[in-house]
A and B are shown apart, each in its own frame.
Chain A
Amino acid sequence: MTCEQARSRFMDFLYEEIDAATRQSLEAHLQTCSECRQEWEGLRETRALLQKLPQLEPESRLAFTAPPRRSLAEWWRDARNLLPQSGWARAAFGTVAALLMAIVAASIVNLHIIYDHGRFEMRAHLFQSPAPVPTPELQEQLLTRLRREMSDYIAEIHAAERAAQEEKLDRILTAFARDIERLEQQRENDLMLIGQELDAIHRVTHLQFGETNQMLQQLVQQISFQER
């Protein structure tokens, strides 16, 4: 065992976490190497010193307890501590709180505030009051007004519908005219193409006739020559 190997085993040896064979080998090395032996003795003494350090008792024992139930007075005290501490902040907080409470109360009691031509009226009731019954004159007036409004409304709808139909018709006619124009153009194109084709056929036929005549003439010449 080398010195380096011995040193790497010191901790295992010191804490007795070493197998028998390695232990014997290490012990043999320590007997022969004074440097390693000195270091080993130093480590062993230091460990012995540390073992003399006592395990001290803590000054007090810890214990956990369940949180106690809070009384109403404690809740109230904590709630008060949450409020602002300075005078002005408290006044502002109080004003806002009062205003909010007033709004909530007003919504609960169905508060109605009416101001009409210098007449101020305020009503509050827990339940909605029934609607007032109108007089015959008022009913007649309402009916007349309703009829007029309905008539105006129907006329308005009718005019809008008519305008929409006219617009739709215009669109159809315009499209129709465009279609006719396109068809006319197409017809002209077709006629022009037919004319061109006819001219081509005419030219081809003329050429074929020419060639046939030429061939016939040659044939006639050959026959005449043979007869002679």
Chain B
Amino acid sequence: MTDDQLIEQFLAGNLQAFNLLVWRWQKPIYNFALRFLGNAEDAHEVTQKTFIKAYKKLHTLKDRHKFNTWLHQIALNLCRDENKRRRRRTFISLDQIEPKWQSRLEKKTLPGVEGATVEKALQQMELQQILQQALERIPEEQRTVVILKELQGMKFTEIAELLGISVNTVKSRMYYGLNALRKILNQWNIDREAIYDDL
């Protein structure tokens, strides 16, 4: 059953149709928020809020084919709100966010862990953390486009519509975002070959 049909059924009073939409879209929205905020707890909260808002406002969605874009738009706004709250809440100096995994990664060893499989799994986790932290370092507008394109698999036109900007601006932000990520990873002296080997 398509999203359109589920929306129609929900608007006709079928609550289970909305639960099917939640079941279908919870994971993408959660991962979007997770990559945007870098925190599972906050991502879970934003996901919850996104669906609560969608539940209340779904009747205002004019073009039901754009449910995906509309839902991401809600999630994005909530993520931005969450970021603003964080900025008000905490001020951390740059010295405090020195990556702790760097030295261990370079040595390619994990203290107190034996066995290649366990070590590889842990290194994979650390590499994911590296990428997540690199994502959090690039400007928010670039990060948004990178996540929507690369992780959510949206088309450039969909992203442009979601953000209310031109397709060329989206491509430009994507270009600068990827370059910025590359520079950050280079600054951290991440051994590119090692990353490929481990992943």
Contact = CB atoms under 8 A, between A and B. Distances in A.
B179 A50 contact: no
Given A43-B178, A54-B128, A56-B31, A61 B171 contact: no
Query: How big is chain B's contact interface, by range?
Result: 35 or more
A100 to B, nearest CB: 38
A57 interface: yes
Contacts of A65: 15
A53 B128 contact: yes
A42 B181 CA distance: 10
Give chain A's interface secondary structure class: loop
A46 B178 contact: yes
Interface residues of A, number: 31
A43 B175 CA distance: 8
Nearest to A62: B22
Interface in A41-99: 42-43, 45-66
Contacts of A52: 127-128, 131, 199
Contacts of B149: 15
Contacts of A61: 22-23, 26
Max chain B Cβ within 10 angstroms of own Cβ: one of A7, A46, A61: A46
Given A50-B131, A63-B22, A17 B15 contact: no
A39 B48 CA distance: 40
A12 interface: yes
Interface string B141-155: 000001001110000
Given A47-B178, A63-B22, A56 B30 contact: yes
A59 B40 contact: yes
A46 B182 contact: yes
A189 to B, nearest CB: 87
A66 B26 CA distance: 19
Contacts of A60: 44
Given A42-B182, A45-B182, A64 B15 contact: yes
A11 interface: yes
Contacts, number: 83
Contact of A57 (B27, B55, B171): B27
Contact of B185 (A7, A46, A57, A58): A46
Interface in B1-57: 15, 18-19, 22-23, 26-28, 30-31, 34-35, 40, 44, 47-48, 51, 55
Given A7-B175, A12-B171, A58-B26, A53 B182 contact: no
B19 A64 contact: yes
B27 A49 contact: no
A4 to B, nearest CB: 12
A42 B35 contact: no
Contact of B27 (A55, A63, A64): A55
Interface in A136-188: none
B58 to A, nearest CB: 11
16 contacts: A7-B175, A11-B156, A11-B175, A17-B156, A42-B182, A43-B182, A49-B181, A49-B195, A49-B199, A50-B150, A52-B131, A52-B199, A56-B34, A63-B22, A64-B51, A66-B15
Given A49-B131, A52-B199, A59-B44, 15 more contacts: A17-B156, A42-B179, A43-B178, A46-B181, A50-B131, A50-B150, A51-B150, A52-B128, A53-B35, A56-B40, A58-B26, A58-B30, A61-B22, A61-B26, A62-B47
User: Nearest 9 CB-CB pairs, A to B?
Assistant: A11-B171, A58-B30, A46-B182, A50-B150, A52-B199, A42-B182, A46-B178, A43-B178, A46-B181
